[in-house]
Amino acid sequence: MKVHHFQALVIGALCLGAAVLAAETYNQHQQLAELQSAARNAPADPSPSLRRDIGELRTTLSTLSPQVAALKDAQHQHTRAQATLGQQLDELTASIRVLQAGQPGPSSADLSALDHRIGAAEVVLEKLSSAPRVPAAAASPTAPVSEKSKAKAPQPPFTLQGIETRGSIRFVAALPAGAHALSTVHLLQPGDSLNGWQLREIREDQAVFYVPGHGDRTLPIP
């Protein structure tokens, strides 16, 4: 009885081992089939895709090279511009220091007086532009004047300050006697009169005035 039982166990074990072996064989057969299928579907030569990637990389590098060169050139230009600007700033700083160390400029009172003088000159110029000119011939004396009467001519009632130029028009700047402010300066043209003295001619460094009763009088212009 025991022998039969043992034989049944051995036969059952053999059947189980055969089943396991069959299952393992089937699994190996499936794996082999999958490998064969993958081998059939795999590309014969993977190098074309690799060569394509390398070509694209080279194209990208060739495109980037000019951009890198342009960037380097722009950087050099920026460096040169910074150096030039730095030099200009240094020169400007030196100029400011020289100006600060120099003599002080005109005061506000001087500038105000000059402004009044310019305003008065502009008013006189407008009046002269709109007023009719006096002919020089009409202002000439008709009767001759002796040298003795010329010698006794009175002192000018003004002081000549110089010659002013407005465009192509020349004026003689005259300061009335007793006046000191720049705003009282008169700009005279030939034909204009100041305190009875009539300007007849403006020369390079002289002004010729007609003095009633005494004839012409030439005054130096400083």
What span, in angstroms and rounded, lies between the C-alpha atoms of 131 and 187?
Answer: 15
Does the pLDDT of residue 9 top 50, yes or no?
yes
Query: CA 116 → CA 20, 178, 194, 195, distances in Å?
Result: 125, 18, 19, 21
| pLDDT greater at residue 59 or residue 32 | 59
Beta pairing class for 197-202 and 193-194: antiparallel
Tell me the per-residue pLDDT of 132-171, one tens digit each, with 9 for 90 and over.
554 444 444 444 545 554 556 688 999 998 998 888 889 9
In this model, does residue 190 exceed pLDDT 80?
yes
Question: Is 6 a member of any domain?
Answer: no
Total count of domains within the chain: 1
Kindly state whether residue 62 falls inside one of the protein's structural domains. Answer: no
- Residue 200 located in a structural domain: yes
In a domain, 94, yes or no: no
Tell the burial category of 191 from Cβ atoms under 10 Å away from its Cβ (0-12, 13-18, 19+). Answer: middle
pLDDT of amino acid 140: 46
CA dihedral 219, 165, 130, 207 (to 10 degrees): 10
Q: What pLDDT, in 10s, does the model give residues 86-107? A: 777 777 677 677 666 655 556 6
Per-residue model confidence as pLDDT tens digits over 18-55: 777 778 788 777 877 787 776 677 565 657 777 888 88
Specify the pLDDT at position 13: 72
Q: How far, in Å, CA of 222 to CA of 96, rounded?
A: 35
Residue 16 counted as domain residue: no
Q: Is the residue at 157 inside a domain?
A: yes
Contact criterion met (CB below 8 Å) for 164 and 187: yes
Range of the domain at 181: 112-220
Is 138 a domain residue? yes
Determine the pLDDT at residue 138.
44
Residue 48 lies in a domain: no
At residue 50, the pLDDT reads: 78
**Whole-prediction pTM:** 0.33
**Out of 64-68, 76-80, 119-123, least confident range:** 119-123
